[in-house]
Structure 1
Amino acid sequence: MEISNSGRAFTRRSVLNFALAAGASSMFPVAAHAEAPAAPKGAKLVLLGTKGGPRVGGNRSNPANALIVDGVTYIIDTGMGVTAQVVKAGIDLASIRTILISHMHSDHQLEFGNLVYNIWVSGALRQPVDAYGPAGLEDMARDFWQLNRLDVATRMEDEGRADPSKLLRAHDFTKKDGLVMQDERVKVTAFTTPHPPLENLAYRFETPYGVVVYSGDTAYNPALADFARDADVLVHEVLYLPGVDALVKRANGTPAFRKHIVESHTAAEQVGMIAAQARAKKLVLSHFGPGDMEWITDEMWRAETARHFDGEIVVGRDLLEIPLG
């Protein structure tokens, strides 16, 4: 049946839908100038993964960190499991705008492409993500999309998704030091440190709420103290020398493997020396080596570091939040 009203025809369903809509609008008036909630102000560092090395297992995830400034997230290193850790930390995937890689060992970049893919497939990749790291990062980004081209093309056609390769902008940093990037929230500079046989980029983040310096992987390097001068938070990798032989034995490692561990990382006592020379306000230990041997207690890590540093020492753990300011 149709009801005629001034020459317009309405079906019974149309009348019902109109009545429901009118009633709803009277009960729930729509704001004329609805605005999106403002981004939270402030900054914090979240330790997403604190275990050194590529081995998966134990109570710590592989290396990854998130610096969140005024609601925008900067990811520092992307070890295995970083996406899961971001979700566990309650960080909005859509807030990730920048990724920084310290060096090309797998435990620091293995999930680089996967992280961006996971942002995309979740529907959260709505603006470009810029990535910075050593030479080779641009190739890695290109190769990732090539490796996953069938899946990506299928999802673009079947699910109507945008091309993710156009939303990841990778940038090789080929200098020894200097400005990496700067936006309205953060200024990032880099400093090259030795991590034989590779080199590593330490990063300094200057924010309105304080300065964070991230060592990445590095052999003992007194020059790093100058780069980290007066940092509010110094995040430094750490090696517990009495645990090295146990680590090598478990990994069926060779003498060359042991040599790499000792010569490419910074012993806990030396980390304290760097922090003291840098006049860091707070020292955060991370990238523990070994990072999954329960007999090495927090107090052991702290005691070795405190031989030379009498400031605040934080023995890092996964998902620990460190506020700035």
Structure 2
Amino acid sequence: MRKVCFTLVSAFALASTPLLAEHHEGEQGEVTETVDAGRWITLGTRAGPVPSPTRSQPANLLVAGGKNILVDVGDGTAGRLIQVGVPTNQIDALFISHLHWDHTGGLAAILGLRVQTNAENPLVIYGPPGTEEMVAGLLASMVPGNTAGYGVPGAPRPSLSDITEVIELRDRDVIEYAGMSVSVRNNTHYSFAPDSGLADRFESLSFRFDLPGRSIVYTGDTGPSAAVEELARGADLLVAEMMDVDDTIAMVRRNSPNAPEQVLAGISRHLRDHHLLPPDVGQMASNAGVGAVVVTHFAGRERGDPQHLEYLRQIAEHYDGPVVIANDLDEY
């Protein structure tokens, strides 16, 4: 796991060691307290839906308030968790930004492994409208395996109804969890027609985690959004998605050489409206006045390609604070 520090940040430290609330005795015997600023670990940093050989699907781990908290749970999350020393049965809560499968695909494995390893407490799942229906479907899919168990006659079986607690969130909700305040805004990843009824049924959420020691904002998937800028106002750390649309369209052309131009144009419009381009990331960070930016949900060229530095240059045209493009297992 690569631990990353921003040496240019004066307002706070993105530490290379855990920032947990502890008491220490100083040289003169006085007691000092290290305020809980949490640890943010980018478990999976690849934008979906196409899998990557080097990056897992979107997922993050926030260690704060004595809790292990997942923020999105894309495919591969269980494997990434064990790489940072956290078994699935030690996850306390999950925040889901939206219900696209690249952000939820790892949940079925998490739930099944928690049953098999006898997780003591239910997994508390916070998510947008529709989360309860999704989780109920996953639990239903687990019934045959749970019924068969290990094939041992008379062996007890856990009650699947007891392994989760689902709490749905909507725009402007604020909750308290593990000694921090979590604020929610509906972003621009969806743009349903007003008369479709879908705008009332589904939301794509961004989260702000106000810990005792710092504030972290996670955009989830979003396009440019005044609501997210408002949510991120003055935050210490902005964890933002970023999309290279031209590179993504080129990849679609390679994978689907017969794709009609009209289809490609529609994909391009969707990506530009519903995701953040490098200049958008810089503008959002600047408008919100954040202390530092971590780019995740990354779709574009990898390190070593000159285009990678071009992304950072485009962000820096609008934002003069520290910026990094995260890899899987980076820690902030």
2:158 to 162, 171, 180: 162
Q: Which amino acid aligns with 1:71?
A: G
Is 2:237 aligned against 1:204? no
Instruction: Name the structure 2 match of 1:62.
Output: 57
State the secondary structure of the residue aligned to 2:204: strand
8 Å Cα contact 2:302/2:308 also seen in 1:
no
Q: Which amino acid aligns with 1:51?
A: R
Residue 294 of structure 1 and its aligned partner are, at CA, apart by: 6.8
Instruction: Name the structure 1 match of 2:219.
Output: 215
TM-score w.r.t. length of structure 1: 0.80
Instruction: Name the structure 1 match of 2:242.
Output: 238
8 Å Cα contact 1:62/1:107 also seen in 2:
yes
State the secondary structure of the residue aligned to 1:235: strand
Q: State the distance in 1 between where 2:172 and 2:109 align.
A: 28
8 Å Cα contact 1:196/1:263 also seen in 2:
no
State the secondary structure of the residue aligned to 1:194: coil
Is 2:129 aligned against 1:135? yes
Which structure has the larger Rg? 1
Q: State the distance in 1 between where 2:96 and 2:160 align.
A: 20
Is 2:309 aligned against 1:299? yes
Is 2:101 aligned against 1:109? no
- Distance change (3 Å), C-alpha of 1:69 and 1:197: same
Is 2:115 aligned against 1:120? yes
8 Å Cα contact 1:282/1:312 also seen in 2:
yes
Q: Which amino acid aligns with 1:126?
A: E
Instruction: Name the structure 1 match of 2:93.
Output: 98
8 Å Cα contact 1:75/1:98 also seen in 2:
yes
Give a deviation string over 1:22-43, Cα, whole Å, max 9, x none: xxxxxxxxxxxxxxxxx96441
Instruction: Name the structure 2 match of 1:269.
Output: 279
Number of aligned pairs?
A: 281
Q: State the distance in 2 between where 1:250 and 1:304 align.
A: 26
For structure 2, list consecutive stretches of 5 or more residues without a partner in the other structure.
1-18, 22-35, 193-202
Q: Which amino acid aligns with 1:240?
A: D
Instruction: Name the structure 1 match of 2:67.
Output: 72
Q: Which amino acid aligns with 1:98?
A: A
Instruction: Name the structure 1 match of 2:147.
Output: 153
State the secondary structure of the residue aligned to 2:286: helix
Q: State the distance in 2 between where 1:95 and 1:113 align.
A: 16
- Distance change (3 Å), C-alpha of 1:294 and 1:244: farther
Q: State the distance in 2 between where 1:76 and 1:296 align.
A: 31
Range moving further from structure 2, 297-306 or 214-223: 297-306
Instruction: Name the structure 2 match of 1:4.
Output: none
Q: Which amino acid aligns with 2:254?
A: R
Give a deviation string over 1:109-147, Cα, whole Å, max 9, x none: 112232122222233x11121101111111111111211
Higher strand share: 1
For structure 1, list consecutive stretches of 5 or more residues without a partner in the other structure.
1-38
8 Å Cα contact 2:278/2:311 also seen in 1:
yes
Instruction: Name the structure 2 match of 1:280.
Output: 290
1:188 to 177, 182, 187: 182
- Distance change (3 Å), C-alpha of 1:182 and 1:250: farther
Q: Which amino acid aligns with 2:190?
A: P
Q: State the distance in 2 between where 1:182 and 1:308 align.
A: 33
Give a deviation string over 1:189-239, Cα, whole Å, max 9, x none: 110001134641000111112111000000111332111011111000112
CA RMSD of aligned residues (A): 2.3
Give a deviation string over 1:232-256, Cα, whole Å, max 9, x none: 1100011224423313313425322
Q: Which amino acid aligns with 2:241?
A: E
Q: State the distance in 2 between where 1:272 and 1:190 align.
A: 21
8 Å Cα contact 1:50/1:291 also seen in 2:
no
2:323 to 307, 313, 322: 313
State the secondary structure of the residue aligned to 1:46: strand
- Distance change (3 Å), C-alpha of 1:172 and 1:53: same
Is 2:57 aligned against 1:52? no
Q: Which amino acid aligns with 1:245?
A: I
State the secondary structure of the residue aligned to 1:231: coil
